[in-house]
Amino acid sequence: MAQAQTLSRNQQIVLDIIEKAKGPLKAYSILFNVQKKGINAPQQIYRALDKLIEMGKIHKNSSRSKDPFVILNAALLRETTYEKELFGEELEDGTISYGALERANNGTLLIDEVSEIPYETQAHVLRVLIDQKFKRLNGFKDINVNIRLISSSSKDLKELVNLGKFREDLYHRLNVMPVELAPLNSRTEDIPLLIEYFKDKLSEINGVQKPNIDINNDNFYTYNWPGNVRELRNLVERITILSANESKSNINKLIDDILNPSSSTLTNKELIEKSFTSPLKEARKYFEKEYLITQLKKNHGNISKTADFIGMERSALHRKLKSLGIKGIN
């Protein structure tokens, strides 16, 4: 017989709060309710939530708790495999490869990074939501499904609709009960908590000691974080794997090089001195490069805004950046 999973005190406290809540909760809302019970650090809540999700406790509190919970990360799929992964496939020898929709029948399907689904496949997803049935690839029989669909995206789906990259009809079908998470750059107070959480988790996963990351490094709070929490996690993972045994000062230098690439560019004095000792063509190149890097940083790497400000066509700016070897400015 399988052993019952035992909850820690912190996990049980957090689960009790969630079970009694009438709507979505933030970590700080949970913290406010449990401080009197001994949980005083938000990272303890993140750890408890992570474990509760891993154990399936959050799903077990839903009305579909006895049915499957299937996760499909659209960002990890090749363009040619989306429909097979979603709808399944009937092979020539009669065997069936079941897709995510069928595996989640009567339960919940979470499509992570739904914006990555190809435009043509989006129409088929919409048809399933309308008709609640589909055919497997190479199949002829309708498969009826009853699923709760949850989708997430790190991109602005409304903007993608306006750009013609995401179907508007599917957008409205998915946008029944939206939950918007503020970007990381607008809630920098979460950064030290997330760093501590990722340090604990990633050092355990990789079997190394926790890296000595300075949470007071200014770059954490001035960087724009276009990749949000995932980008922060990737940074902490990179440091954990490559620099776990490094000193705080060396790790700070690595963070500076990654988050503040302009710190490696020339100072104004150095630029002037180098320019006056160089031929005119080379001096102009130095000035152009430093000028464009500065303008890009002011606009958080947005090419269109930078092009408008400096009075240059977007395509011309792209060519200029490429010729000067400028890339990855945020």
Mean pLDDT within 216-223? 88
The confidence score (pLDDT) of residue 27 equals 59
Confidence of residue 283 (pLDDT cuts 50, 70, 90): low
pTM, 2 dp:
0.56
Mean pLDDT within 37-64? 70
Mean pLDDT within 205-211? 85
The confidence score (pLDDT) of residue 115 equals 94
Quick check: 214 pLDDT over 80? yes
The confidence score (pLDDT) of residue 282 equals 64
Tens digit of each residue's pLDDT (9 = 90 or more) over 22-49: 665 665 677 777 777 777 666 677 677 7
The confidence score (pLDDT) of residue 114 equals 94
Confidence of residue 52 (pLDDT cuts 50, 70, 90): confident
Confidence of residue 172 (pLDDT cuts 50, 70, 90): very high
Quick check: 268 pLDDT over 50? no
Average pLDDT of the chain, as a whole number: 81
The confidence score (pLDDT) of residue 286 equals 65
Query: What percent of the chain has pLDDT above 90?
Result: 27
Quick check: 136 pLDDT over 90? yes
Three-class secondary structure assignment of the chain: CCCCCCCCHHHHHHHHHHHHCCCCCCHHHHHHHHHHHCCCCHHHHHHHHHHHHHCCCCHHHCCCCCCCEEEEEHHHCCCCCHHHHHHCEECCCCCEECCHHHHCCCCEEEEECHHHCCHHHHHHHHHHHHHCEEECECCCCEEECCCEEEECCCCCHHHHHHCCCCCHHHHHHHCCCCCCCCCHHHCHHHHHHHHHHHHHHHHHHHCCCCCCCCCCCCHHHHCCCCCHHHHHHHHHHHHHHHHCCCCHHHHHHHHHHHHCHHHHCCCHHHHHHHHHCCCHHHHHHHHHHHHHHHHHHHCCCCHHHHHHHHCCCHHHHHHHHHHHCCCCCC
The confidence score (pLDDT) of residue 262 equals 60
